[in-house]
Chains A and B, each alone.
Chain A
C-alpha cells in the first residue's frame, strides 16, 4: 500500500473533523499517480476525487485494511501508521492551518528515507510540496 496524505507546515491534518485544505491540482496528481491501480479512501473523501473522473476510486470506511500491495490509500485522518506500507506520499501545504489532528509519525525517526521532493503550484495554493518516502 502507498499511503497518501495532506499536511500543513506543522504536520496538521484536520481541525474538528474537517480537512484543513484542499486543492484540485493535488487531487489531479494523486489520480495520475494511481492510474492503472486502485485508490482507496474513506467515503467522506470521495467528493474530492469523483468529480475529477477517478474511475479507480474505491470508497470504504475500512479502506486502510482493503488497500493491497501496489494500491494507493488516501487518508485524511490517521491514528497510527498502518502496517504493510510500501511508500508514503505527503502533500505539504504552504501554510499553517488550525489543527487538532496531526500526521501520526515522524517518518525520518522511523527509518523512512525522503526519496524525492517536488514543488509545484496548486490551484488555490501558491506552492505545494510533494514528498515521497520509502524504506
Chain B
C-alpha cells in the first residue's frame, strides 16, 4: 500500500512537472539536456543517440526522495496507460527481493508495439526482446505486463544489462539495498519507447557503491524503427551492404 502511494505520488509529481515545463519552461530555463532534477524526463530532455548504448544524464544523480532511503524493501509498478503502455517501475532492492528460482516463460506477454521479426545483423537475430524494466535477476518479476516493454536486443543487452548486473552483484556482495527506478520514455502516442531512464542509489552507504542516472537508447544499429507502431526495416547502409 505504501509503495502504491509512493507510485501515485510519483505519477502526480511527473504530471505537475510536465505541466510546469510546458507552461513555464522557457521562462524558468527548464529543459537543459538531462537535467529535470526530479526523475521526470521527456524526450526533449535527452540527448539523441550518437553511437553509445547509454548516456549519463542529470550529472549522474538519481532523483530519489530522502525519505525513501531506508532499508525497507519494496517494488512498485505503474498501471498500464490507456494505450496499454508501461510506466515507471521502482523498487528498493535487497537480497530479500532477489529471485531464488529460475526465470519462467514470458512469451505470453505482448507489450505495446510488439513484432516478432528477425535480422541477420542482430545478435541472436530477433530485433525485439520482451524487455524487463526491472530485470528478473533483481526482483524476480517474471511475466508481469507492467514490467515488460518492447525493447531491442541492443537496449536489453548493451544498454540495460551492464547496469542490472552491476546492481545485482553489488547487492549480493554487500547485502545492502539499492533504490532502483526504470522509466520508459514514449514520444507522444508511440507504442514503442524511445529509451529508458535508469536510476539507482545504494542506501546503506549513501551512494558510495551504486549511484547512477543514465538514459539507455531503444535503438538497434543497422535497423530503422517506426516507434509509433513497432514496424522496422533494414537501414539503408545495411541494405546496401547485404
* B-binding residues in A (CB < 8 A): 15-16, 18, 20-24, 95-98, 123-125
> Could you say which of B74-82, B121-129, B165-173 contacts chain A?
B165-173
Q: A24-B173, A124-B172 are in contact. Are A18 and B162 (CB under 8 A)?
A: no
Other contacts beyond A123-B172, A124-B170: 14, CB < 8 A:
A15-B212, A16-B56, A16-B211, A18-B209, A21-B170, A21-B173, A22-B173, A23-B169, A23-B173, A24-B173, A96-B162, A98-B54, A98-B214, A125-B169
Q: Which residues of B contact A18 (CB under 8 A)?
A: 208-211
> B150-178: contact bitstring with A at CB < 8 Å (1 yes, 0 no)?
00000000000111011001101110000
Q: A95 vs B162: C-alpha distance in the bound complex, in angstroms? A: 8
Check A97 against B166 for contact (C-beta < 8 Å): yes
Q: A20-B166, A21-B166, A95-B162 are in contact. Are A124 and B212 (CB under 8 A)?
A: no
Query: Which secondary structure characterizes the binding site on chain B?
Result: helix
Check B173 against A123 for contact (C-beta < 8 Å): yes
Check B209 against A97 for contact (C-beta < 8 Å): no
How many A-B pairs fall under 8 Å by CB? 44
Contact of B162 among A16, A22, A23, A98 (CB under 8 A): A98
Q: A21 vs B165: C-alpha distance in the bound complex, in angstroms? A: 9
* A-binding residues in B (CB < 8 A): 54, 56, 60, 161-163, 165-166, 169-170, 172-174, 208-212, 214
Q: Which residues of B contact A15 (CB under 8 A)?
A: 166, 212
Q: A101 vs B162: C-alpha distance in the bound complex, in angstroms? A: 15
Q: A24 vs B175: C-alpha distance in the bound complex, in angstroms? A: 13
Q: A96-B162, A97-B162 are in contact. Are A21 and B169 (CB under 8 A)?
A: yes
Q: A21 vs B56: C-alpha distance in the bound complex, in angstroms? A: 19
Contact of A124 among B54, B161, B169, B211 (CB under 8 A): B169
